[in-house]
Amino acid sequence: MLVVDDERSEEFRRLFDDNYDYVWSSLRRLGVQARDLEDVTHDVFVEVHAKVHTYDRARPIRPWLFAFALRFASDYRKLARHKTELRGDADGPTELPSAEDVVVMQERARILHAALEELSLELRAVIVLYEIDETPMKDITEALGIPLHTGYSRLRLARAQCAEAVRRLTARTGGRQP
């Protein structure tokens, strides 16, 4: 018989409810393909459930969750079968209307994801947390277990490499610079 106290279960339920989109999106931004997102998101939350008692409530929850997502995304990317097909999967299973402006937005999203795909995972984690999640650098470095200096350094490198990749990918596809 499963022994789970109600308070902990309620906490996890709320955590899942409030942060499902965040974990799902973070995994996507870390390179997990749309078709595998549910599998990996499931794995993350099962692990979070097992470790939720270690969460320090004095700290923001999302960088803590991101560390789980990063670990699972890292192992996901190590699987050879994923490596050849990591690009061009920007919008996941979400179905969007086929208006022209949406097509343009999808193309811009695809370029951004392709550019992120060229970064190492450690650079990618910092730029996703900083530029998309708007997480303070102090919280980023605490969640990732790196010195503040390293966090800023990775942000700088990630921005430079990402900008270069966006320029190159945009030129290759004949599009305008974003």
Partner 1 sequence: MSDDPMEHVDPIEPGLGALFREERARGHAPAASKERVARRVAQTIGGQGGSDGGKDPSGSAGEGTTTTTTAATGATGGASQAAGVVGAALSASRVAPVLWAFLAGGVAGGVAGATLAPPRVVVVERPARENVRPAVPVTAAAPASVTQPGSKVEELPAAVPAPQPSSAERDRDLGRNTALAREKGLLDVARSALGSEDGDRALAAIDRHTSEFPRGQMREEREALAIQALMMLGRHSEAADRGARFRQTYPHSVLAPVVDAALSNVGATDVRGFDAGE
- By CB under 8 A, what part of segment 42-71 binds partner 1? 42-43, 45-54, 60-64, 67-68, 70-71
Query: Quick one: which of 38, 83, 103, 175 contacts partner 1 (CB under 8 A)?
Result: 38
Counting other chains too, the contacts that 7-16 makes at CB distance below 8 Å and 24 or more residues apart are 8/52, 8/53, 11/52, 12/48, 12/49, 12/52, 15/48, 15/52, 15/61, 16/45
- Least distance in angstroms from the C-beta of 73 to partner 1: 10
87 binds partner 1 (CB under 8 A): yes
91 binds partner 1 (CB under 8 A): yes
- Least distance in angstroms from the C-beta of 98 to partner 1: 15
34 binds partner 1 (CB under 8 A): yes
Question: Can you tell me the distance from the alpha carbon of 25 to that of 139, in angstroms, rounded to the nearest whole number?
Answer: 19
105 binds partner 1 (CB under 8 A): yes
83 binds partner 1 (CB under 8 A): no
30 binds partner 1 (CB under 8 A): no
Give the SS3 label for residue 174. coil
Question: Under a CB-based contact definition with an 8 Å cutoff, are residues 142 and 59 in contact?
Answer: yes
Interface mask toward partner 1 for 124-153; x: CB under 8 A: -x-----xxxxxxxxx-xxxxxxxxxx-xx
141-166 per-residue burial string, b: 16 or more CB within 10 A, e: under 16: bbbbebeeeebeebbebbeebbeebb
4 binds partner 1 (CB under 8 A): yes
Q: Is 128 exposed, middle or buried (0-12, 13-18, 19+ CB in 10 A)?
A: buried
175 binds partner 1 (CB under 8 A): no
Number of residues engaging partner 1 in binding (CB under 8 A): 114
75 binds partner 1 (CB under 8 A): yes
107 binds partner 1 (CB under 8 A): no
Half-sphere exposure of 63 toward its Cβ, with a 13 Å CA cutoff?
A: 22
Query: Quick one: which of 83, 102, 175, 178 contacts partner 1 (CB under 8 A)?
Result: 178
